[in-house]
Amino acid sequence: MKKISEIVGKQVFTSEGDFFGQVEEVNLTDNKIEGWKIKVGSSFLSMFGGARGVVIPHQFVKTIGEIMIINKGSLPMRDESDMPAQAQASQQLEEF
């Protein structure tokens, strides 16, 4: 079992092995982890329309150890034929 303070600052990777960003904060509700504020790395910035980070719901976290691994399938993928990437991101993830 890890302390939350040990997780802040850890690097975040997708389940596919891509660097996603770094943990900035945790969102707690009733002493339970609701989500993680992640400062997005440069390779994913365009996906979120200029937002400097996103809140990843805790249910999308696969594991936390030396790094945090999130489920890549839960991330909005840019697909111009459906809707703008920013609209997709706001449906699943909260930007900040």
Say if CB 53 and CB 24 are below 8 A apart.
yes
The pLDDT score that the predictor gives to residue 4 is 84
The pLDDT score that the predictor gives to residue 47 is 77
pTM of the model: 0.74
Domain count, the chain: 1
The pLDDT score that the predictor gives to residue 20 is 93
The pLDDT score that the predictor gives to residue 84 is 43
Structural domain harbouring 90: 4-95
CA-CA-CA-CA dihedral for 88, 39, 55, 49, to nearest 10: -20
Q: Residue 27 corresponds to which tokens in the numbers above?
A: 């969102």
Strands ordered across the beta sheet of 68-70: 61-64, 68-70, 11-14, 19-29, 32-40, 53-57, 94-95
CATH number, domain with residue 48:
2.30.30.240
Give the pLDDT means over successive 10-residue stretches in the chain (96 positions): 86 93 94 92 77 88 95 67 42 55
The pLDDT score that the predictor gives to residue 19 is 93
